[in-house]
Structures are given as structure tokens and as C-alpha cells.
Amino acid sequence: MSPRFTPAGEVAYRRAEGRHSTSIRAPLREFVGDDFVVGAGPVDTAFKVSAPPHQDHGQWKVTVDDVELTRRP
């Protein structure tokens, strides 16, 4: 899983599991609590943030859709 947020408010997301992959590149629509929604036109995708951004041993981490992510320097 690799989400990327741009300064312009766009989210580029890709998740690969085995031979299956999912990707979206669209504007950030809204935050709902810690979760966020990305979409354009009638199509949108909600992402569940179960552990908001936090530091763990000097590294920034967040858990999105049950996957713990670590920010790259």
C-alpha cells in the first residue's frame, strides 16, 4: 500500500495483494473524523484510519485500512 498526498490536495493510492491491485488518483474530498474520502464526480473511496499519525521510535506511522504505514524520509 502506498498513499501519497500532494500539496494540491490530491491523493495517489496504490495497493497490491498478490496478483490483484487497486489504484486511485483523485482529489481529497473530506475528512470524517480520522477517516478520509477521495473521489471525483460520482465515484469516491473512503479510507478508514484506525491509528492516526503518530511517532514510534522516531518514525511517523499511521494505520489505514488495517495496514500500518511508515513515512519514508
* CB of 3 closer than 8 Å to CB of 64: yes
Structural domain range at position 41: 4-70
Grid cell, residue 44, equals: 469516491
Query: Could you give the number of structural domains in the chain?
Result: 1
Among residues 9, 3, 22, 8, which one has the least CA distance to residue 62? 3
- The DSSP bridge pattern shows strands 35-40 and 43-47 to be antiparallel
- pTM assigned to the model: 0.81
pLDDT of the residue at 2:
85
Query: Each residue of 42-52: pLDDT tens digit?
Result: 999 999 999 99
Amino acid code (one letter) for 46: A
Query: Each residue of 1-38: pLDDT tens digit?
Result: 888 999 999 999 999 989 999 899 999 999 999 999 99
pLDDT of the residue at 73:
77
* CB of 52 closer than 8 Å to CB of 69: no
